[in-house]
Structure 1
Amino acid sequence: MITPRRAARANGRIAVALRIVSAILTGSLVTLGVASTFVAARLARRVVTPAARLADTRILSLDTAAQTITLSRNPDTSLPGRYGLFTSGTENYLKLGTVLAETDTAVTRKLLTHIDGDARLDADAAFSGWYFDRPEQLQLPFTNEVIGTAIGPCPAWLFPAAEDTGRWVIQIHGRGSARSEALRAVPVFHDLGYTSLAVSYRNDGEAPRSKQGTYTLGATEWRDVDAAVSFAIRRGAREIILMGWSMGGQIALQLDLNSAHRERIVGLILESPAIDWSEVLRYQAGLLHVPKPVISFAIGALSSDWGAPVRGPGERIPLDRLDIVSRADELKHPMLVLHSDEDGFVPSGGSHALALARPDLVTLEVFNTARHTKLWNYDQERWSRAITDWVEALDVKTAAGAGS
């Protein structure tokens, strides 16, 4: 028989046990919340903070007699085509040619930059789609220019057309990149009779640093490129194409939506563009196996006033304004979008959605196998032909419109 005293003792023990369990659960939830906030803060700050180029491969061997290099294998280093490699040691940049041999862990490629026998390279390296890293390598006339912007002078390279046609292309590099990214496109436009202006913008390592020193993913950077549009107009540009890679594509789209010089813009070319940053951030965080609630928290911190303690010194990013699919009705100019379904960094879903939303404006050229901003490298002939055909058709349409 259970006496009242025994029942009271049992209830007391149960109450103590429940308090212990409650304390453990509360502590676990607090720990989980702190950990989630920490991860979200790391994710948010990683997105907006300009960073040095990170090594993504290793040099396993260098054969200067055969002029070959062996790299650790990853989805980029095993691609066919021509690429670049950021290195350190006696060389800081190499041009790479075709794949000569490969295993499950290594890829041997032809060196297109001659390396002397006494060369010494550090193992860590970064694979690149730039290929050309200096304007002199194009063997085309160019001048160094300075674009005056609200944050200070932004350097640019100007490649004049052989004859002044009044047609310009302004080329906009992507996040964590620089003007050299655009050099691949200059010969194509030179053949088409266009003057090319490869620009820089705030916080890219060449242009001035903003007060916060962080990216806004196109929300403010477009103003620096708009100053380049004004520069081009003062130099005689009558028709301007905007061409952007990755985040540069978003910058071009923000120009198309916001520039006071929209009447001079006749078209856009977007390569591997970030059409909707929320989609891009969810995709990239998924690659890092970040839990979905943490991703949502990080995105909220980036775009909200309350998120300042999480995202750090950067200003709020209006991600709704950077969702171009939702703003597709506001677009006015034809555009060519080049994107690989196997991009691996910026998913092509936004490009497909934009093409569906505005089939009257968007021509979508879909690649396979090629990786992010490396479409020229993977298939230079197709990439160049797609741009040439589109620009020639645009020129005909623009000329017809001007004559009507």
Structure 2
Amino acid sequence: MASVFKKALVIALVLVLGGVAFGAWSGSEAGVKVVHYGESNTNVLAVGDRTVTLTETHETTKPGTYWLEWTGSYTMLGSIVARSPGKVTRQVLRGTMPSLGTPGHFGNVPPGDPKVAWGVDFSEIMIPTELGPAPAWYVPGRGTTWFVAVHGQNGRRKAELKVLPVVRDLELPFLDISYRNDEGAPDSPDRLLHLGDSEWRDLEAALRRAQQLGAKRFVLYGTSMGGQIVGQFLARSELAGLVNRVIMDAPMIDVRMTAEQGARNYHLPAFVAPLSNQVVQWRTGVDVDRLSLIRYPPKVRPPLLLIHTTPDTDHPIEEARGLVATGRRLNWDITFEEFAQGEHTEAWNVDRARYDHAVRAYLMAERPGTDEQSGAEGA
């Protein structure tokens, strides 16, 4: 009987250790694996007079402004106007009307490029990074202060186009960059994400290219992991002093806190999060613990507009609140806009008017320690 009990105990221990190891590896995959998205997640069930009826899903029932993309086309969708079992009817704001039965992708980012999304002319320029050329979209403007946008983890440049109409109205030159492991950009040597620890050098390369094209000062805009990339740039780049202002939308502020949230999302024990970070460090060489703008704030701290939604389950609101507390301690000029609704990077989607007003007011306001009255300096 004792031997049977011991065998059962050993088996149980092996299963537990195996489960922990699997959880830690899965957590590291969520952090550093390169993934490119774009599959269909809904179908068009009916088309009316400037309305579209879609399959009812968690995504298609979200309030606010979103997009439906399908092969070669898109439509911008607004408020929900009707619901029935399995169906959601939304208002069409702009774009092409889809055909009945069309499979499409319902998402929170604009489609295509600046021309497709907003009718804005642009050119594509290549940024000479240390790993090879990486493409960037450039929309010309007036003045020598450039607005440079950095997307998040496994995202695409189009994710940053939500802010383009405001930037365009202010006539700031707009540069929307890619970085290592993006589609069209060079792979990193290990083909893994480094959570901003190395990607910031591609942002630095973009600013050097912008300088060659006439830029003298910069506004940096980072969403999700793009916020951590911006933070590491401010901490480590010799060009950080050229940044006038920063905007972060749902940023990855503290990788440790992000990992803890990931463990909660998958109902894993809390101790799995530090184990996942250890696996990330083993796979990439990145000191994950130092990727905290709360505990290791950047040496250069220009005024910051911080935008975050309370329900965010990718980067919890505690990350943003922690950075605000750090700002108070360091006398860092941080303007915090907390949105009560919206999932990760969906503040614009749930309240575009408030989002655009906050960005516009921030860029135009005169701030202590700057020699510009508006973001459109030199216009």
What secondary structure sits across from 2:354 in the alignment?
helix
**d(CA) in 1 for partners of 2:98, 2:28:** 43
Cα deviation per residue 1:139-195 (whole Å; 9 max; x = unaligned)? 33321100000111100011111x3x1111110011121111111212211222311
What secondary structure sits across from 1:228 in the alignment?
helix
**d(CA) in 2 for partners of 1:38, 1:225:** 34
**d(CA) in 1 for partners of 2:366, 2:238:** 22
Structure-2 residue corresponding to 1:289: 267
**Are 2:122 and 1:150 aligned?**
no
Structure-2 residue corresponding to 1:114: 96
Structure-1 residue corresponding to 2:81: 100
**d(CA) in 2 for partners of 1:217, 1:126:** 26
**Are 2:249 and 1:271 aligned?**
yes
Contact 1:150–1:224 (Cα < 8 Å) also in 2: yes
Counterpart among 115, 118, 128 of residue 107 in structure 2: 128
Q: Letter of the 1:354 partner, please give it.
A: L
Unaligned 5+ runs, structure 2: 374-379
Counterpart among 9, 31, 36 of residue 25 in structure 1: 9
Contact 2:47–2:98 (Cα < 8 Å) also in 1: no
Same amino acid, percent of matched pairs: 27
Aligned counterparts, 1:5-404, within 5 A:
17-53=1-37, 57-59=41-43, 61-63=45-47, 67-74=51-58, 76-87=59-70, 90=71, 93-103=74-84, 106-111=87-92, 112-115=94-97, 117=99, 120-122=101-103, 125-137=104-116, 138-161=118-141, 163=142, 165-303=143-281, 305=282, 308=283, 315-328=284-297, 330-359=299-328, 360=331, 361-394=333-366, 397-399=369-371
**1:23 Cα offset (Å):** 1.8
**1:209 Cα offset (Å):** 1.2
Cα deviation per residue 1:36-78 (whole Å; 9 max; x = unaligned)? 212321221232111132768433623266641223231x432
Contact 1:67–1:114 (Cα < 8 Å) also in 2: no
Contact 2:265–2:313 (Cα < 8 Å) also in 1: no
Contact 1:82–1:131 (Cα < 8 Å) also in 2: no
Q: Letter of the 1:264 partner, please give it.
A: L
Of the two, which has the highest radius of gyration?
Answer: 1
Contact 1:73–1:104 (Cα < 8 Å) also in 2: no
**d(CA) in 2 for partners of 1:42, 1:343:** 21
**d(CA) in 2 for partners of 1:221, 1:84:** 28
Contact 1:86–1:94 (Cα < 8 Å) also in 2: yes
**d(CA) in 1 for partners of 2:122, 2:349:** 23
- Bigger drift between 352-361 and 99-108 goes to 99-108
Task: Indicate how the Cα distance of structure 1 residues 400 and 271 shifts in structure 2: closer, same or farther if over 3 A, else same.
Answer: closer
Contact 2:150–2:178 (Cα < 8 Å) also in 1: yes
Task: Indicate how the Cα distance of structure 1 residues 395 and 232 shifts in structure 2: closer, same or farther if over 3 A, else same.
Answer: farther
**1:299 Cα offset (Å):** 2.0
**d(CA) in 2 for partners of 1:397, 1:195:** 23
**1:396 Cα offset (Å):** 7.6
CA-based RMSD of the aligned residues comes to: 2.3
Task: Indicate how the Cα distance of structure 1 residues 339 and 116 shifts in structure 2: closer, same or farther if over 3 A, else same.
Answer: closer
What secondary structure sits across from 2:218 in the alignment?
strand
Contact 2:67–2:108 (Cα < 8 Å) also in 1: yes
When normalised by structure 2's length, the TM-score is 0.90
Task: Indicate how the Cα distance of structure 1 residues 208 and 113 shifts in structure 2: closer, same or farther if over 3 A, else same.
Answer: same
Unaligned 5+ runs, structure 1: 1-16, 309-314
Contact 1:217–1:250 (Cα < 8 Å) also in 2: yes
When normalised by structure 1's length, the TM-score is 0.84
Contact 1:144–1:156 (Cα < 8 Å) also in 2: yes
Q: How many residues align?
A: 368
**1:343 Cα offset (Å):** 2.0
Q: Letter of the 2:133 partner, please give it.
A: P
Task: Indicate how the Cα distance of structure 1 residues 141 and 385 shifts in structure 2: closer, same or farther if over 3 A, else same.
Answer: same
Contact 1:132–1:184 (Cα < 8 Å) also in 2: no
Contact 2:147–2:220 (Cα < 8 Å) also in 1: yes
Cα deviation per residue 1:351-387 (whole Å; 9 max; x = unaligned)? 1111111133211111111221122222111111111
Cα deviation per residue 1:220-253 (whole Å; 9 max; x = unaligned)? 1111111001111121111101100111111111
